[in-house]
Amino acid sequence: MEIGMIGLGKMGMNMVLRLLEGGHRVVVFNRTVSKEEMVINKGAIGSNSVKEFAGKLTAPRVVWLMVPSGEPTDDMLNEVLQYTQKGDIIIDGGNSYYKDSIRRAKLCGEKGIKFMDCGTSGGIWGLKNGYCSMIGGDDETFKYCEPIFKTLAPEDGYLHVGTHGSGHFVKMVHNAIEYGMMEAYAEGFEIMKSSDFDINLEKVSDLWNHASVVRSWLLELAHNALKEDPELNNLKPIVDDSGEGRWTLKEAIDKAVPAPVLADSVFMRFRSRQENSFAARMLAALRHQFGGHPIYK
């Protein structure tokens, strides 16, 4: 079928390539022209503006937004709405906050435009392995767009999880679980590295992926990283977050659901970005005050 893709970043570009390989007609728009040219050479149809982009799509248009969450998504959605019409479909495939998706679905609905939120997992490996898609919206729109989801996903790799907002809600929780798993692996490998044994961490990461209870794709990626740089000396210990862990933690608090692993994994990311922690200095000062313990200037 035909689809328009706006946003050719780390995931958007590979999604376009996968759709082209699946035989779909794909119209693209991206602010950076050089990225457009890369997929045009593979068969995509380029455009110089959102207006031109919309004009190259046949009604009912299917427009997939793959841009950063928050204000960039709102800005692009508002621009797209200027050139779409009743019956068209807009899919937000980025990591948007689910309450934003509910709001955007209402905005589109007031204009007679259908909206779907698609939580998309697969990262930079999606072109090869496919994208796991968690989709929110009405049944009719999902069924119309299903050939797109089927092409992007591996076998059994997409699911219509519920009404507007539910796709991004499930993806939010997915990413929070990912935070906790990553933190557990990181702590475990540091304990092994700090032990009195001369343990080859790269070999252990490979070993654990063979019938071990803790085997996973994340562990495969850990093996890749340790194989490239066994001491990880080329990395600074700074870990960013893109919002999903915070949003899930807020949801847990609002619903009084205990989530200590998630909370710790989010706070550890904050700690990684502190070069000179005030809290740590305060702890040192308190120990010195009450017990005369040494401090380090």
Per the annotation, the verdict on 203 as an active-site residue is: no
CA–CA distance, 43 with 23 (Å, rounded to integer) = 10
The answer to whether the beta carbons of residues 115 and 131 sit under 8 Å apart is no
**And the tokens for 135?**
């989709």
Between the alpha carbon of residue 261 and those of residues 114, 221, 239, the distances in Å are 37, 21, 17
**For tokens 């209870």, what's the residue?**
213
d(CA 98, CA 63) in angstroms, rounded, equals 19
Of 241, 109, 244, 222, the C-alpha closest to 172 is: 244
The SS3 call for residue 78 is helix
Known catalytic residue at 10: no
45 near 22, Cβ under 8 Å? Answer: no
Catalytic choice (171, 183, 244, 251): 171
| Residue 269 CB neighbour total at 10 angstroms | 18
State the greatest distance between any 2 C-alpha atoms of the chain, in Å, as a whole number. Answer: 76
Catalytic residue among 2, 79, 146, 178: 178
Query: What's the token pair of residue 190?
Result: 């540091």
Active site members: 171, 178
